[in-house]
Amino acid sequence: MGSESVKEKSVSVILLAGGKGKRMGASMPKQYLPLLGQPIALYSFYTFSHMIEVKEIVVVCDPSYRDIFQGCRYSFMGQTTYTFVHCLLIVFDYTKEKIHVDLKFAFPGKERQDSVYSGLQAVDLNSELVCIHDSARPLVTPGDVKKVLKDGWLNGAAVLGVPAKATIKEANSESFVVRTLDRRTLWEMQTPQV
């Protein structure tokens, strides 16, 4: 694809924030539950919004949650927030400048794939890459995103993943274990997907 680096303002991010979180059984979707005073979805929103490669963020969410994203674009200016999550220091420094990415919204679909499709309909057609991220994954780092963007640029597609740590068993139709899969060949897929 030419250059080995992703250009400034060439990436559209689709931030999936329309899930209902039924399996969790909380009073609201998990991506809006507070984590150290912030809705979970805002952590990845902040990460993407301060990356020079990103030109726009399309938030796929129920219209009743749009104000969370609209309001945060300016409410944290002039603040530095230090957040400790699982022994990981996340630093959000909003003293430098306000967010300079376009913010768009799309309606969520019935299933994840429908929400992705809805987000794709709102993406700027001049974008060179589309980056899809689940907003319920707040700990994505700019470094990880940059690696996935670069791999997506060089290879046509990429996804963030980590080696599987758990022991995975394959079972038959009667729920009897038939074999143990070799974890050295298994990866847990995460997001973003590019």
149 within some domain: yes
55 within some domain: yes
Between CA 132 and CA 60 the distance in angstroms is: 10
Confidence band for 80, pLDDT divided at 50, 70 and 90: very low
Given the structure tokens 């758990």, which residue do they identify?
A: 166
Torsion of CA 152, 157, 161, 166, to 10 degrees: -160
3 state SS of 103: strand
* Contacts of 75 by beta carbon, 8 Å cutoff, 6+ apart: none
Neighbour count for residue 67 (Cβ, 10 Å):
9
Average pLDDT rounded to a whole number, residues 155-169: 96
74 within some domain: yes
pLDDT surpasses 80 at 83:
no
Torsion of CA 186, 150, 104, 135, to 10 degrees: 30
Amino acid letter for position 140: V
Domain CATH code at residue 96: 3.90.550.10
146 within some domain: yes
Q: Output 115 or 20, whichever has higher pLDDT.
A: 115
Confidence band for 132, pLDDT divided at 50, 70 and 90: very high
142-155 and 40-49 helices cross at what angle (nearest 10)?
60
Confidence band for 114, pLDDT divided at 50, 70 and 90: very high
Confidence band for 87, pLDDT divided at 50, 70 and 90: very low
pLDDT surpasses 50 at 71:
yes
Confidence band for 70, pLDDT divided at 50, 70 and 90: confident
2 within some domain: no
Given the structure tokens 């979180």, which residue do they identify?
A: 21
Is the separation of the CB atoms in 40 and 130 below 8 Å?
no
167 within some domain: no
Between CA 93 and CA 98 the distance in angstroms is: 10
- Distances 37 to 7, 72, 94, 159 between C-alpha atoms, Å: 34, 13, 16, 29
176 within some domain: no
88 within some domain: yes
Domain that holds residue 113: 11-158
Backbone φ, ψ for residue 184 (5° rounding): -65, -20
pLDDT surpasses 90 at 22:
no
Between CA 119 and CA 42 the distance in angstroms is: 18
> How many domains is the chain partitioned into structurally?
1
